[in-house]
Structure 1
Amino acid sequence: MLRGLLTGFICAVAYLNASAQHYKYIDSTRICGIANYKKQVKADSNKRLVEIIKYIPSIKLDIRYATANNFMHRPMYKQAKAYARLPVVKALQEVEADLKSRGLGLKIFDAYRPYAVTIAFYETTPDTNFVANPKFGSKHNRGCAIDLTLMNLKTGKNLDMPTGFDSFSKKASANYAHANPQQTANRELLKTIMHAHGFTVLPTEWWHYDFDGWRNYQLADIPFTAL
């Protein structure tokens, strides 16, 4: 009987150790997995990662990391979907409504990003001007960062910006001074509207906006298939 209990205990410990996720750059307790995520959502519905297009059907998606058209040159996501925390999506609803009155809309390149993908980015291109250091994680990992641009609702075309998405150059700066006047005006319009609804642009990337309440959300490593 004792031997059987001991064997069961050893097996249980082995299972827990095998199933626990460990990270080499950060204390694993700082990363929220699916079990903790479900507990957090049960306690506070604002913690939910929701699919953006289900709340804002007019938004267009161009999820580059579900394709090979990105700086990694391979798909990083199995699904071309965009998720964010519920308050983030509500703020985006306000942005989209504001833009619609101007004949414009949002196109999203990326939103919530599992922490494991941030590690892959860093180990391929450890330039922290454009890739988050996994020691600290990314606002994307919190479901509180959106990569996006403006599009013309009538033509469906993106407005001209100083660079394309994921350009690792000085021209990608949110304050680059030598873009042509139209590119500068478009970038500044995006900046003004996003700031008015609770987002702050990343200085090195004109397309990257952090939700001002990001500190309320934990880094997460949850695949899209689990949401």
Structure 2
Amino acid sequence: MTAKPPHEKGDFRKPDLVELTSLDSTIKLDIRYATTNNFMRTVFYPEARAFMQRPAAEALVRAHQKLRAMGYGLLIHDAYRPWYVTKMFWEGTPPDKRIFVADPSQGSRHNRGCAVDLTLYDLKTGKPAEMVGLYDEMSERSYPDYPGGTSLARWHRELLRRAMEAEGFTVYEFEWWHFDFKDWAKYPILNVQARRSVQGAIRVSPLPGLLARLGISGMICFFQHDTFVP
């Protein structure tokens, strides 16, 4: 049986995913799932791009611009994530570590385009700011209130949290880098990949062998003006 996202009922807003760097080119990207530098050691995305629903994206840009006054900017590790990737994460994570991944039977707020994984970078050096734990580290050091690490790392973590919360985001209780936008429940779970072909189609095509083993079929939708169109 082909795996599909959970069926949802509700009066959802029409998806309006926009590319973050199209709103502010000074937002930096380090999209780990477009590389093998991630906890699964697998490439999941064909391109290093980051999308969010427009209101969430605009709120993130406001946080980024306010941080600039303090010498920092936002560096994005992940934003919108197709549902099939969430399923692969769940299947590939040991049961005792699944607090760090979303249950595909419920869907992820990343799948709705309303969650973002990010950190700070120093405007002067362009380098990521020191944090208490590493991105996607599955340990207590990832908890937003973990008391260890250096005072500077904890200050960076708190600065990021304050900036995001001021714009309507909430930090996930087990990951200092993960923030959910306040309106996440108003958007549906999506399962499309962000790759634009010459014809303008977005195709889910990476990892055919792994997708097949998980019973997930590819999908095609259409892309127009950097917006996902069902």
TM-score range, shorter chain: 0.7 to 0.9
1:153 aligned onto 2:131 = no
CA distance in 1, matches of 2:24, 2:35: 23
Q: Which residue of 1 aligns with 2:53?
A: 85
Unpaired runs of 5+ residues, structure 2, are 196-201, 203-227
Post-superposition offset of 1:22 = 4.7
Q: Deviations over 1:133-155 (max 9, x none)?
A: 11111100000000000111110
Q: Which residue of 2 aligns with 1:130?
A: 100
CA distance in 2, matches of 1:170, 1:87: 32
3-state SS in 2 of match to 1:129: helix
Matched letter for residue 157 of structure 1: K
CA distance in 1, matches of 2:116, 2:2: 27
Identity of aligned residues (%): 42
Post-superposition offset of 1:58 = 0.7
Q: Which residue of 2 aligns with 1:192?
A: 162
Q: Which residue of 1 aligns with 2:8?
A: 30
TM-score normalised per structure 1: 0.81
- Aligned with 1:224 (options 194, 202, 218): 194
Post-superposition offset of 1:102 = 1.0
Q: Which residue of 2 aligns with 1:175?
A: 145
Matched letter for residue 128 of structure 1: R
Unpaired runs of 5+ residues, structure 1, are 1-20, 32-36, 42-46
Choose 1 or 2 for highest CA Rg. 1
Q: Deviations over 1:13-69 (max 9, x none)?
A: xxxxxxxx9536x54x339xxxxx9xx64xxxxx30111111111100000000000
Q: Which residue of 2 aligns with 1:95?
A: 63
3-state SS in 1 of match to 2:177: strand
Compute the RMSD of aligned alpha carbons: 1.8
CA distance in 2, matches of 1:155, 1:223: 33
3-state SS in 2 of match to 1:128: helix
**Structure number having the greater helix percentage:** 1
Matched letter for residue 159 of structure 1: A
CA distance in 1, matches of 2:184, 2:98: 19
3-state SS in 1 of match to 2:98: coil
Post-superposition offset of 1:157 = 1.0
Q: Which residue of 2 aligns with 1:209?
A: 179
CA distance in 1, matches of 2:50, 2:145: 27
Q: Deviations over 1:154-175 (max 9, x none)?
A: 1001111011110001011001
3-state SS in 1 of match to 2:178: strand
Matched letter for residue 141 of structure 1: N
124-133 or 82-91, which moves further after superposition?
124-133
Q: Which residue of 2 aligns with 1:9?
A: none
1:111 aligned onto 2:79 = yes
TM-score normalised per structure 2: 0.80
3-state SS in 1 of match to 2:99: coil
